[in-house]
């Protein structure tokens, strides 16, 4: 168990920065998800922590020990880090038990103790009795469990997951998600979990680091990411947030301020110290929108209605700004139809901070 610190880490390949000035502090026993679209640098981040890549500048510490930094780089085999690879990376020439017991053999543990640990690890991932199988004869979920057991058995100080569920089907994902959560609870290991699936990240992580083009866009709890995105990228990336242009009319008071959006005034949540300005953006969620017969609000056109069983997703273009698309859900009975006129009201929203800095 150890904490992981990334201190202004930058990694440049020949002509582009894969990771730019990222600072993250992962607490002892914390479950951190690193979330981002593909190509955002999250895999490079993992390889930096594991030691497969060397930092260009900055420092990586595990516990109190500097692993990568100006003074050099500790070899991956000396970092006591466990990795669960996306494609499992099970050694095809070894049995399941040999795969799991490999790091014990490397550490020259005596055979009886090693065998016991392998048995325990197999039991932990519900694979009792499959120790003599070859990886090729296992299903995807079983392979994933073997990979997990292999990484557990060495009692690493830090476990890295590299999109471990990307190759599994939906049902298996749910059950593996439960297993990962249970595993984290049971072992209390510090975990860094790379994924592009936000549902997965939300369900598992204590905190989520959202990455975008090599930069850390925001590091926060799932709740905070959803309700108080620090910038437009995070706002639109998380749960398909709707971004609307706004002018701030009043300074912040008790966490709220008055804004004008699509010609109507409303009160939204905001950071402390916000002051009136123009050209701001607010983020609202589908749940913040409601159809009203009349009263305050704005008119527009229903562009699309997608029935989803029990409710429909409505795509809506306000008349004041027809290029924008707002979407929201309407439960059965769905009354709106394509081409219909409707009036919408925004109940609430979040003012994107001006700086866009990570909180």
Q: Using CB under 8 A, list all residues that contact another protein.
A: 50, 52, 59, 66-67, 69-83, 85, 87, 89-93, 102-103, 105-107, 135-136, 150-151, 154, 156
- Length of the chain as a residue count: 359
Closest contact distance (angstroms) between CB of 93 and another protein is 4
Q: What is the secondary structure of 192-247 as a DSSP string?
A: EEEES-HHHHHHH-SEEEEEETTEEEEEE-HHHHHHS-SSHHHHHHGGGPEEEEEE
Smaller CB separation from another protein, 71 or 295:
71
Residue 351's nearest CA partner among 276, 262, 240 is: 276
Smaller CB separation from another protein, 54 or 275:
54
Alpha-carbon torsion (251, 255, 258, 263), positive or negative: positive
d(CA 139, CA 141): 6
Closest contact distance (angstroms) between CB of 267 and another protein is 50
Residue 303's nearest CA partner among 293, 295, 311, 313 is: 313
d(CA 60, CA 55): 8
Q: Kindly give the pairing relationship between strand 31-35 and strand 207-212.
A: parallel
Closest contact distance (angstroms) between CB of 72 and another protein is 4
Closest contact distance (angstroms) between CB of 119 and another protein is 18
Smaller CB separation from another protein, 74 or 248:
74
Closest contact distance (angstroms) between CB of 200 and another protein is 21
Smaller CB separation from another protein, 93 or 185:
93
Smaller CB separation from another protein, 106 or 306:
106
Distances (CA, A) of 44 to 9, 88, 204: 11, 18, 21
Smaller CB separation from another protein, 52 or 307:
52
Smaller CB separation from another protein, 13 or 307:
13
Terminal-to-terminal C-alpha distance of the chain: 26
Closest contact distance (angstroms) between CB of 166 and another protein is 13
Q: Kindly give the pairing relationship between strand 277-284 and strand 350-351.
A: antiparallel
Closest contact distance (angstroms) between CB of 235 and another protein is 35
């Amino acid at each position: 168990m150890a904490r992981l610190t990334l201190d202004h880490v930058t990694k440049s390949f020949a002509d582009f920065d894969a990771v730019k000035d990222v600072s993250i502090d992962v607490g002892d026993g914390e479950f951190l998800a690193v979330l981002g679209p593909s190509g955002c640098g999250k895999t490079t981040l993992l390889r930096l922590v594991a030691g497969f890549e060397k930092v260009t500048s900055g420092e990586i510490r595990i516990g109190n020990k500097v692993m990568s930094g100006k003074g050099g780089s500790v070899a991956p085999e000396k970092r006591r880090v466990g990795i669960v690879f996306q494609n499992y990376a099970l050694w095809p020439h070894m049995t399941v038990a040999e795969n799991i017991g490999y790091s014990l053999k490397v550490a020259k543990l005596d055979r009886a103790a090693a065998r016991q640990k392998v048995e325990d690890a197999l039991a932990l991932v519900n694979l009792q009795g499959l120790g003599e199988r070859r990886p090729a004869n296992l299903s995807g979920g079983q392979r994933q469990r073997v990979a997990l057991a292999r990484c557990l058995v060495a009692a690493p100080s830090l476990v890295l997951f590299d999109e471990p569920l990307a190759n599994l089907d939906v049902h298996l994902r749910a059950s593996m998600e439960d297993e990962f959560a249970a595993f984290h609870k049971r072992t209390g290991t510090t975990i860094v979990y790379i994924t592009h699936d936000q549902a997965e990240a939300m369900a598992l992580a204590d905190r989520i680091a959202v990455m975008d083009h090599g930069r850390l866009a925001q590091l926060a709890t799932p709740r905070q990411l959803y309700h108080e995105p620090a910038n437009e990228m995070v706002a639109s990336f998380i749960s398909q947030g709707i971004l609307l242009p706004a002018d701030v009319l009043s300074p912040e008071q008790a966490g709220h301020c008055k804004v004008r959006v699509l010609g109507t005034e409303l009160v939204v949540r905001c950071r402390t110290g916000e002051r009136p300005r123009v050209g701001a953006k607010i983020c609202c969620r589908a749940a913040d929108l409601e159809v009203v017969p009349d009263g305050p609000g704005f008119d527009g056109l229903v562009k699309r209605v997608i029935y989803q069983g029990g409710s429909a997703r409505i795509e809506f273009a306000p008349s004041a700004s027809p290029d924008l698309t707002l979407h929201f859900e309407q439960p059965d009975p769905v009354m709106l139809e394509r081409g219909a006129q409707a009036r919408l009201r925004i109940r609430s929203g979040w003012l994107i901070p001006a700086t866009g800095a990570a909180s």
